Structure 1
Amino acid sequence: MDQATKDIAKRFYVLLYLFLTRTYENVEVVFIRHHTQAKEVDEHEFFYSQETGGTIVSSALKLMNEIVQDRYPVGQWNIYAAQASDGDNWADDSPRCRDLLVNKLLPNCQYYSYIEITRRSHQTLWHEYEKLSEAFPNFAMKNIRSVEDIFPVFRELFQKENA
């Protein structure tokens, strides 16, 4: 991600973090960063690290699955996930990401949101994820093109459902 894209992602995540911590009493937020390898990081490193490098998104999804399995039993926790990306991923990794979502993560998540921050045409990750949005009602995806899109997209993704 270039710096402008990282800044948009950070703003989105700050908004989400504030929303979660102010709305819910018992929230545990896990931060995962990735390039070619994923790692769990603290809040400061997540928001301020300047790392760059190649992108293998499936490494983050695998790590998320491991963390959920190890620390958040599905019967005891509501699992929500938010992924932000510029859409860049190794082409052969994008189908792997879709498979991880279908077979591991989405069955255990109450809600999974994906935002892609780009003004360019979408790449393989977006196209793989598009296949999920119709089959999984707990999966949503949106595109953010500029800073002005952050709040409207956030509202669409996290608006209250009518009972």
Structure 2
Amino acid sequence: MAIAKNTICLWYDRDAEAAARFYAETFPDSAVHDVFHAPSDFPSGRAGDVLTVTFTVLGIPCLGLNGGPAFHQTEAFSFQVATEDQAETDRYWDAIVGNGGRESACGWCKDRWGLSWQITPRTLTEALAAGGEEARRAFVAMMEMTKIDVAAIDAARRG
């Protein structure tokens, strides 16, 4: 695989390959491309350990770096996944949370490696883009949710 001009580098303690494989199994247009092993010992590993993994998530090129425990994922970075309906929302949410992840608020969850995901039905994005009272009602409804409930957002949009 050719190296992309711009690649998102994601820091993992030591499980970049496992994370990349999970993303590739969970999301369309996702794949693991290359696994590179360290040519010598490094601060958080030994020669031969997986050092980096190149992969795509929903078409976005990424590099997973096994950098050790020095840095951790935060909500300052997240993948936002636009979903078409409740079934797709449930599928991604359940895959992330059910694989050792955890729920958060307003459509956010974290995978077991600490990476944040926003599982966002298009109806919510469309409601917020509409502005005015429709946006306010949808926003108020969203603020009470963990996983987004499409039917509840649609009802709030209608008033």
TM over 0.5: same fold?
no
If asked which structure has higher relative contact order (CA below 8 Å, sep 6+), I would say 1
Q: Tell me which protein shows more strand as a share of its residues.
A: 2
Q: Tell me which protein shows more helix as a share of its residues.
A: 1
Could you tell me the TM-score, scaled by structure 2's length? 0.29
Q: Which has the larger radius of gyration?
A: 2
Could you tell me the TM-score, scaled by structure 1's length? 0.29
